[in-house]
């Protein structure tokens, strides 16, 4: 059973690496938004199940993805970067408050915004 799980993990890693290698910049951002949404949904579940360890790991992952998105902004490219920075700041506030107050609805709101953002990037990628 453990060998099967390892094989599946290796396949997922290989599949992800192939998708990243073939992706455009917009597709990469959309993939990061998917990862952000998944991490936030995992944090929501962890709050509901009173599991602090998985909650902390999921929130940390979500914030790290958000850090990466923020770091990739090119402010010289125009006002879109400032708009995205504002959106990312709002996401960060929702995540931090949702985690600090153990309010899954705030994490859910952030996950929904990440889904909408990912869909928008897919639309222009």
Q: What is the CATH number of the domain that holds 30?
A: 1.20.120.340
Residue 64 host element (H or E): helix 52-71
Which comes out higher in pLDDT, residue 63 or 124? 63
d(CA 91, CA 107): 9
Average pLDDT, the chain: 89
In a domain, 65, yes or no: yes
* pLDDT level of residue 17 (50, 70, 90 thresholds): low
DSSP collapsed to 3 states, 68-119: HHHHCCCHHHCHHHHHHHHHHHHHHHHHHHHHHCCCHHHHHHHHHHHHHHHH
Question: Domains in the chain: how many in total?
Answer: 1
In a domain, 11, yes or no: no
In a domain, 6, yes or no: no
Domain hosting residue 115, numbered range: 24-124
* pLDDT level of residue 23 (50, 70, 90 thresholds): low
> What are the pLDDT digits (tens) for 31-90?
999 999 999 999 999 999 999 999 999 999 999 999 999 999 999 988 999 999 999 999
């Amino acid at each position: 059973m453990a060998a099967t799980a390892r094989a599946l993990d290796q396949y997922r890693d290989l599949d992800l690496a192939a998708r990243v290698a073939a992706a455009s910049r917009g597709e990469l951002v959309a993939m990061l938004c998917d990862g952000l949404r998944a991490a936030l949904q995992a944090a929501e579940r962890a709050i509901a199940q009173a599991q602090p360890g998985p909650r902390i790991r999921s929130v940390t992952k979500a914030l790290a993805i958000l850090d990466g998105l923020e770091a990739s902004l090119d402010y010289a490219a125009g006002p879109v970067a400032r708009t995205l920075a504002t959106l990312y700041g709002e996401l960060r506030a929702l995540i931090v408050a949702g985690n600090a107050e153990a309010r899954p609805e705030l994490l859910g709101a952030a996950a929904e915004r990440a889904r909408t953002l990912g869909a928008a990037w897919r639309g222009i990628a």
